[in-house]
Structure 1
């Protein structure tokens, strides 16, 4: 089946990209496997009018509103392969069905690569976080930990004191230079040397060191490495780099380096949130419509 646009990813950015196109009565297929990046968090914060709402509630409400438009088709079958060029893109799903479109929007999001630390993965989104703007306030100024995973962790440790007294676990990874040490001291950050062995605790998070020292934290923040899926590479889109990992390179209108392919949300940003993803998607949707009307 042929559509004007196929949007791969039906979370916050993809839904936001689809809405202006649906309202312009363009034929759309949204392909979404339902695996959102923030699925581990019980509540989301920082998105105007939806502050504190469960993230699946925000997504499901958006999906219901979008599906009410008569030109929108929806598939929950994951994408196997993408190919083609502007005005003749092909998307093959894992069940073997193929769809074509004049334009593609990549809104696939990214996955987070977590440190291999015992007790961390099962606490991700509950006691272990990556974004203080999303989760810091709810810690109620309790003791906050930062686990060093890369050079970016020093920046995290400098940010976190606004949300609570901060302890920076160097974890045999971070070696702050003289200027960074002075900045951490000025921000009141406590440094803990040595390797972290594991995380424990349910109500109260315990950071347990290899030498058996224990530190009770209200929450722990880490800088993850992000991993985009393979679709942008299949299409030949140029990637950009950040301290957190690769992301799809776009211009101000969310066009990739491949004509007819647009990207928005976390897959096209070095860092993100629901609010940023929605804004990205709105820009992408309007830009796609403009390209359909006036050409590339």
Structure 2
């Protein structure tokens, strides 16, 4: 059979888009490998109506609601390739199955390339975080460490003074100019230029000179990229952002390949569950419009 829309990636953005399409009685297939980006965290904060909820529960409840619609289908698999054109796309999964759809939506999420610091990866999402709006409040204005990964890290340190007493570890990732240093100091930020050797304990930073500093939580930046190259292989343009790369889309969430759309973390910055859901809902509505109106009038 041919689906109206095949959604590659079934996390928050992909499901939010699917909901709009299902409510328009369109046939939707979600292909999802089950690897949510926030699978490492036990609580999701800042999402209205689900503040502090287990993100796995949010996802499972959303899927349960989608399953109530008779035009919904779900395949647990990794989408490996996509080819074709608008009204005639084919997606092939890792088990060799193929699925046909009139439109594609890439909601693949992103992968995080973390700083190569011993002990950081196993603390990611537990005591080392990216987003202060998602995890800053629970630190109760305790001591906060920011480990630099590039020029944007100074902005992260500035912002985090809203959530606690900040120590900024430059860690060889950037050299502060005098105005930048003065701004951080004026905000009460302690600047530590000694390189980080490893992380230990809950959120302890061990420096190469042997000192060990303890914090309520740590923040750092990751470099992100779409979690699979499937969109790029189809011919969709990829663009640089301050945080990595993403799939390029227009205001209607369509990629540079006609009939192929993208949403969520893979196609916008910054990232959060709330923003992914909103972006997905918008993409779903625009996908529906593309099925209703001919291309010449879609943006009317």
Q: TM-score band, normalised by the shorter chain? A: over 0.9
- Counterpart residue number, 1:156: 156
In structure 2, distance between residues paired with 1:96 and 1:176? 52
1:178 Cα deviation from its structure 2 partner = 1.9
Q: Does 1:231 align with 2:256?
A: no
In structure 2, distance between residues paired with 1:231 and 1:198? 35
- Counterpart residue number, 1:241: 240
- Counterpart residue number, 1:110: 110
C-alpha RMSD of the superposition: 0.8
1:118 Cα deviation from its structure 2 partner = 0.9
1:271 Cα deviation from its structure 2 partner = 2.0
In structure 1, distance between residues paired with 2:174 and 2:146? 11
Where do 1:30-179 residues align within 5 Å?
Answer: 30-179=30-179
1:234 Cα deviation from its structure 2 partner = 1.0
Aligned to 2:275, the other structure's residue is in SS state helix
- Counterpart residue number, 1:255: 254
Conserved in 2, the CA contact under 8 Å of 1:146 and 1:221?
A: yes
1:148-178, Cα deviation, whole Å (9 max, x unpaired) = 1111111111110000000001112221112
In structure 2, distance between residues paired with 1:18 and 1:186? 48
1:114 Cα deviation from its structure 2 partner = 0.8
1:179 Cα deviation from its structure 2 partner = 1.9
TM-score by length of 2: 0.96
- Counterpart residue number, 2:3: 3
- Counterpart residue number, 1:294: 293
- Counterpart residue number, 2:298: none
Conserved in 2, the CA contact under 8 Å of 1:246 and 1:270?
A: no
In structure 2, distance between residues paired with 1:186 and 1:8? 47
2:209 to 211, 214, 218: 211
**Mind listing any 5+ residue stretches in structure 2 that lack a counterpart?**
296-300
Conserved in 2, the CA contact under 8 Å of 1:245 and 1:270?
A: no
**Mind listing any 5+ residue stretches in structure 1 that lack a counterpart?**
none
In structure 2, distance between residues paired with 1:30 and 1:211? 51
1:3 Cα deviation from its structure 2 partner = 0.5
In structure 2, distance between residues paired with 1:170 and 1:281? 36
1:291 Cα deviation from its structure 2 partner = 0.4
In structure 2, distance between residues paired with 1:292 and 1:51? 35
